[in-house]
Amino acid sequence: MLRVERSDIREIRTSEDVVAVRQAVRREAVAVGFNLVDQTKIVTASSELARNTLDYGGGGTVAIETVLNGVRCGVRLIFEDQGPGIANIELALKDGFSSGSGMGLGLGGAKRLSHEFEIESETGKGTRVSIVRWKG
């Protein structure tokens, strides 16, 4: 059973918002008691996913949450957009695949930096990516 202790929803409409998301995720990770390495991992993942939300999703939102699962405490991030969606999720997750001019490392990188990773996307409807990193 996952309990949501705190949830802060933010808009991602501009590059400044992406920076603000990074800072808010850092604050949340510090508040939960993450060490510096774990802070950097979740902040880096948040940066990649926020960028994708802006660049490919046409903007959207992120919920920054403190979650509890029995003995463990962590940070969950849920990115949502109403953009074009991802036609082939498996391909999008492959390192080196980009439909734009990126390196194609963001999604796969965010997955590797997280303990839990879920992605739902529907063509023409939008995309939802949820990650959790537990406190080490």
Ligand X SMILES: Nc1ncnc2c1ncn2[C@@H]1O[C@H](COP(=O)(O)OP(=O)(O)OP(=O)(O)O)[C@@H](O)[C@H]1O
Residues 51-90 touching ligand X, rule: CB under 6 A, are 52-53, 56-57, 81, 83-86
Nearer to ligand X, 71 or 90 (CB): 90
Quote the tokens at residue 74.
């962590």
Query: Please, which of residues 11-40 interact with ligand X by CB under 6 A?
Result: none
Out of 57, 83, 106, 126, point to the residue binding Mg ion (CB under 5 A): 106
For residue 116, which amino acid is it?
E
**Measured from the CB atom, is 44 or 69 closer to ligand X?**
44
Strands 72-81 and 60-69, sheet pairing: antiparallel
Q: Are 75 and 25 in contact (CB under 8 A)?
A: yes
Type of residue numbered 37 = V
What values do phi and psi take at 79, rounded to 5? -100, 130
How many residues line the site for ligand X (CB under 6 A)?
A: 23
Question: Residue 130 binds what, of ligand X, Mg ion, none (CB under 5 to 8 Å, by partner type)?
Answer: none
